[in-house]
Amino acid sequence: MLGEGVVEAINDYTISERSLCAFLKLDMLVRYEMLVSDEKVLKYGGVSDDDGFIPKFNGIVKNTEAAYMLIFTKTPGNAKYEVYI
Cβ-based neighbours of 25, under 8 Å, separated by 6 or more: 7, 74, 75
Residues 46 and 56 sit within 8 Å (Cβ to Cβ): yes
Q: Indicate the number of domains in the chain.
A: 1
| Domain carrying residue 17 | 2-84
Average predicted confidence (pLDDT) for the chain: 90
pLDDT of amino acid 29: 94
Task: Give pTM, 2 decimals.
Answer: 0.70
Low-confidence ranges of the chain (pLDDT < 50): none
Residue 51 is predicted with a pLDDT of 87
Distance, CA of 81 to CA of 27 (rounded, Å): 11
pLDDT of residue 69: 96
pLDDT at 10: 95
> Given this model, what pLDDT does residue 42 score?
78
